[in-house]
Amino acid sequence: MVTLMRWILWRPFGFGFSRRHLKVESCGITESESSIPLAWVSLIQKPNRTPDIFSLDQRKRFSTMPEIETNRRDSELFSPPSDVRGMTKLDRAAFKKTVTIPVLKVRKEIVNKLMRSLKKAALQRPGIKRVIEDPEDEESRLIMLDPYKIFTSDSFEKEELSILKQLNVSPQISKYNLELTYENFKSEEILRAVLPEGQDVTSGFSRVGHIAHLNLRDHQLPYKHLIGQVTIDKNPGITSAVNKINNIDNTYRNFQMEVLSGEENMMTKVRENNYTYEFDFSKVYWNPRLSTEHSRITELLKPGDVLFDVFAGVGPFAIPAAKKNCTVFANDLNPESHKWLLHNCKLNKVDQKVKVFNLDGKDFLQGPVREELMQQLGLLSKERKHSVHIVMNLPAKAVEFLCAFKSLLDGQPCSSELLPIVHCYSFSKDANPAKDVQQQAGTVLGVSLEACSSVHLVRNVAPNKEMLCITFQIPAAVLYKNQTENQETHDDPPLKRQRTDRDF
């Protein structure tokens, strides 16, 4: 132990000092002080003879250390006990740990005034009180100090020492044994201590009302129930933690899930962009990470516009559009989604503005959408000022449904600026995802979209996998029967104005 202590004492000050100085520093440590954290002990002892370098402000010297070193030292002191490594069933009592913290004794009546001046020196640790009662003197309080900044009375800055002197407070540092428990550790700290060293730690999740939705990796599965319980413990309002156990590859876009911990109630309520949605999370599709995208599309719409939502889910596009006084046609093949879509339209008081369907996407496009477009784009609608938008949010397959637009309408083409605007979502693993999505859509439609479409990056789904939205007006040559492609359609001015470098 002595050898280890000497190495730690030597290291911060370089290897240029003699062993005489090294011995002087280590000899002041008594057996009763052996429990003091090494990071504090290594500097709290005052040597009998101090080289010039020791007169430097120790706190400033440590503040210039690399951030990674600071984090490493912090994790050594404020980390769970090492014997929790490998725990698969949560034992909260096993996380008890005692650490030694520097404290300053002050009169209780000046605590508030003094704390304003000691913000930098005080302990900054969530969940731990910085001021506690003095067990030996009821008229005094103990101020917890940062063990990596304050070692002796010399560690205070000049301004701090001046305040202490004005308030007649002795800068003498005392030691306090602080007991840390499970409640004092963050979820990431707990999981990092439990999982095998060097492996990824899952601390993030998607919140869906009271449900925490995790996507655990294979190496985390042996600890899944512990991870679920820690997630519930450390996140107020979370009462259930679930893990997805298959990809979204079925007809109804929901996935199988396993309840890791907490209640098995999957009925939930969420609030997104000031709208309320209720649904059974185990039976419908909902992704809280798409909140910004729902808002972005809504902002493109103007009152009076028409929106066709081909894969509407429980209504995150349809309901905000209806609230904006748009005419909305919303469809979803999943009976559960259809049920909750109807429910949420009533919940948000837009049920009179949304026509709801329970059809396959292609049947919806070639049925209700076709009928409405024939009226919207007909000869009697030449003076129409509003726009028609079609949202197709089914990234894995939506591009394939674009074929339903080919020769969809009869009669003479409408004015090019009145052609429907499509917002079609897709995934791409290509090095140039925007161009890839344009080519995917263009191949299905049989026309090139590179000059007349914009592509918006929605989010990164996985390493080398992006979710994007391609926006374009359906060319008349595609939409109407017996029409041929013409350059005017491809170079449509409104579409060219929509395209910006930022979209890519």
Model pLDDT for residues 116-152, shown as the tens digit of each residue: 899 899 998 888 999 999 999 999 999 999 999 999 9
| pLDDT tier at 69, thresholds 50, 70, 90 | very low
Cα separation, 121 vs 143, in Å, equals 10
Domain that holds residue 157: 97-180
Q: Which pairing describes strands 206-208 and 211-214: parallel, antiparallel, or unpaired?
A: antiparallel
Do 166 and 216 belong to one domain? no
Do 202 and 166 belong to one domain? no
Do 358 and 459 belong to one domain? yes
Q: Is the dihedral of CA 93, 95, 100, 102 positive or negative?
A: negative
Do 248 and 319 belong to one domain? no
Q: Are 420 and 494 in contact (CB under 8 A)?
A: no
**Can you give the pLDDT at residue 295?**
97
Cα separation, 470 vs 449, in Å, equals 10
**CA dihedral of residues 354, 360, 363, 365 (deg, nearest 10):** 50
The strands making up 421-428's β-sheet, listed across from edge to edge, are: 354-357, 327-331, 306-309, 388-392, 421-428, 465-473, 453-462
| pLDDT tier at 246, thresholds 50, 70, 90 | low
| pLDDT tier at 188, thresholds 50, 70, 90 | very high
Do 207 and 158 belong to one domain? no
pTM for the full predicted model: 0.74
The answer to the question of residue 65 being in a domain is no
Cα separation, 435 vs 283, in Å, equals 34
- Assess whether pLDDT exceeds 60 at residue 387: yes
Q: How far apart are the first and last CA of the chain?
A: 60
| pLDDT tier at 300, thresholds 50, 70, 90 | very high
Q: In the predicted model, what is the mean pLDDT of the chain?
A: 82
Residue 273 CB partners (closer than 8 Å, separation 6+) = 291, 294, 295, 298, 320
Number of domains in the chain: 3
Q: Are 322 and 354 in contact (CB under 8 A)?
A: yes
Do 381 and 253 belong to one domain? no
| Known binding positions for S-adenosyl-L-methionine | 294, 332-333, 360-361, 393
Model pLDDT for residues 429-443, shown as the tens digit of each residue: 999 999 999 999 999
Boundary (domain end) residue, out of 265, 292, 319: 265
| pLDDT tier at 338, thresholds 50, 70, 90 | very high
The strands making up 173-180's β-sheet, listed across from edge to edge, are: 131-134, 137-144, 97-107, 173-180
Do 260 and 295 belong to one domain? no
Cα separation, 339 vs 359, in Å, equals 13
Model pLDDT for residues 19-30, shown as the tens digit of each residue: 333 332 323 333
Model pLDDT for residues 407-437, shown as the tens digit of each residue: 999 988 888 888 999 999 999 999 999 999 9
| pLDDT tier at 376, thresholds 50, 70, 90 | confident
Q: Angle between the 19-26 and 2-10 helix axes, to the nearest 10 degrees?
A: 120
| Known binding positions | 294, 332-333, 360-361, 393
| Range in 39-53, 247-261, 312-326, 374-388 with the lowest mean pLDDT | 39-53
The answer to the question of residue 66 being in a domain is no
Do 163 and 209 belong to one domain? no
Do 216 and 347 belong to one domain? no
Q: Are 151 and 76 in contact (CB under 8 A)?
A: no
Do 175 and 295 belong to one domain? no
CATH number, residue 150 = 3.30.70
Do 306 and 442 belong to one domain? yes
Determine the distance from the C-alpha atom of residue 225 to the mean position of all C-alpha atoms in its chain, rounded to a whole number: 22
Please name every residue paired with 107 in a beta bridge, in sequence order, or none if there are none.
Answer: 140
Cα separation, 112 vs 80, in Å, equals 31
More confident residue, 246 or 63: 246
